[in-house]
Structure 1
């Protein structure tokens, strides 16, 4: 397959997560139902159409979720403030309108909380920008432009930095979370950065390169990034608690790569299920969670043994997994709600 054809195929894999539908009113959420699976408990509830990602705020005990519906011009998008206990929407904040004639809005996709400054950062993929919102009242604080096809964002609270991945031009862009200004930009020619994770101890940011089948690692003082080959189609990355091991969700291969970052090599490859799209680590147990979009489930991995210890059903098309101590949250694109809404799943992880 040619390089161009490969890039087109993988770009389509990223775009497949942008599903159509309509945003459900916050008061219309149904009561969740519980299911038990080998020590873990899955609680599911319809939330809204067009779910994309979520991020948990420990400071406010809130789950922030993004929704965006349809193709440009996108007129329905919201930043949702969700109660992690009831799985009901507490508030829905609409992004700014960008075109009065069409009603297009600055649609939100990727999301990360900054509890240090009580803000929420989003990627506005179709507008090639990122934005900052207040966690306190949902106010839109600023839009920062020139991030080509901004896909994901991650916050390094210790260093007052938010990193965004520019899938469109191979860039990693850093913003100051105090001044809300760009402070660093690194472009890797020919790359397609997607998922992001930052090591809180060292400040090193790691990005999956979907085109290059590798991790791009950029430390704060390095002049050039380092590269580590991983599995086929890496689209999401997470780190171990000590930051020495990375885990990549390899969408094309349907696997998770366990990567020794010091040695710069894959030590284990764990088959997880078709269409592995998102990966996260449980800060309590150290286990790795992989959302398998095509398979429609969540794999719980013991990284020491390199085995899947639980497979939990999430419904069709899980799109993103987020963790809090002892819990995980998965948003899907199932349209399985009574009015065609997508769902949120809360998993209380077994020991």
Structure 2
């Protein structure tokens, strides 16, 4: 085994071993004072005190999967290295190869979000594994054509002197802001897309996981795993406006239907989807696969897809019927997914398999598997169909994690008309 392979294998073992640390002793209970529109759903017999967080499966605490390399200096252009470009042939098909480009970026990569307004890829990165504190964190601004870092921005310190480390991310192009989750600080924060300046931090979101923007309604939603809650903020004032708690739940991934305003959270603890209708105090609970970490919606909003870590699969869920219609095996450690808007195909990050599966949602078949760096963590897809995958391989020359750009839409949507406006990206 090469030294790089030994290092990656050792990292995978260490991350799996440490992944429950962040959640140990964390009770899934609604905390904090009552806020506008707050509601608590008493569903079934599973109450907050009965959930043993230290038994939650590995990778749910994937905010622990950071590196300890020397951090990049804040707001510094990145000279970068020559990207590795090539093509990957799909597994088990005769289709043409997929264009793939991979570059080392920074240590501690976590999630990304693409700004159609600015033509920029934003990424979060944080360094440090519990019980040790975070030693560095940054928002990373990336040119999607060259894959070079344009600038990095360092988060502020919280009231205890800890870095407000950034993890989940989404962009609000209407107000030109970036919203992030500060998972280890139990808060969320807002930054300017124009300057990278920190605009606000909002507390009382225990183990904030993912965050999504509903530009149509000026709302930003986040999942609070530690509270069993889905929380909404006004994207203009940054103030909390709604909180819906399902006692005993563990919401992780999040998606919003901007047509209806409904929000869907993957409940990792109870293998279901939590559907929240704005203004309603009674969430709808929909079954899905085992260990759902991530969720995405079809273009028409009628179908949900969940990445099921425990079974290495994707569940295709009919939201009208409230039932799983297909389960598609993809690969070990299915962790993150996104829908390619032109074709409707679903891209699934398989953490332990080290690849991305492209799933035809209509047939329920995997049409290709595209290799990435080791330990891929998150996938983001633009309106034009370009996918960006962040990994936690630490395989760069200075221990950086990698950014991989994939263009499955070039082949997948050939001869088909796309949804939405096209974005100009490399």
8 Å CA contact retained: 2:78, 2:151:
no
Structure 1: segments with no counterpart, 5+ residues: none
Supply the distance in 2 between the matched residues of 1:307 and 1:187 (Cα, whole angstroms). Answer: 36
The RMSD of aligned alpha carbons is 1.7
1:112 aligned residue (159, 167, 170) = 170
Q: Does 1:94 align with 2:154?
A: yes
CA distance 1:192–1:141, change in 2 (3 Å):
same
Cα shift readout 1:115-155 (whole Å, capped 9, x = no counterpart): 01000000000100000000000000000110010010000
1:333 aligned residue (392, 397, 401) = 392
2:252 aligns with: 194
Q: Does 1:27 align with 2:78?
A: yes
Report 1:310-321 matches (<5 A): 310-321=368-379
1:84 aligned residue (122, 136, 144) = 144
Report 1:43-82 matches (<5 A): 43-71=101-129, 72-82=132-142
What TM-score, normalized by structure 1, do the two folds share? 0.95
What TM-score, normalized by structure 2, do the two folds share? 0.79
2:362 aligns with: 304
Q: Does 1:15 align with 2:47?
A: no
8 Å CA contact retained: 1:24, 1:341:
no
Secondary structure of residue in 2 paired with 1:126: helix
Supply the distance in 2 between the matched residues of 1:335 and 1:41 (Cα, whole angstroms). Answer: 23
Q: Does 1:284 align with 2:342?
A: yes
**Structure 1 stretches of at least 4 aligned residues deviating more than 6 Å after TM superposition:** 3-6
1:249 aligns with: 307
8 Å CA contact retained: 1:174, 1:183:
yes
Secondary structure of residue in 1 paired with 2:278: coil
Supply the distance in 2 between the matched residues of 1:58 and 1:215 (Cα, whole angstroms). Answer: 28
8 Å CA contact retained: 1:7, 1:211:
no
Q: Does 1:168 align with 2:189?
A: no
Cα shift readout 1:238-285 (whole Å, capped 9, x = no counterpart): 000000000000001100000000000000000000000001001111
Structure 2: segments with no counterpart, 5+ residues: 1-48, 89-95, 413-426
1:184 aligns with: 242
Cα shift readout 1:84-117 (whole Å, capped 9, x = no counterpart): 01111101000002368xx631100000000010
8 Å CA contact retained: 2:50, 2:248:
no
Larger CA Rg, structure 1 vs 2: 2
Which is richer in strand? Answer: 1
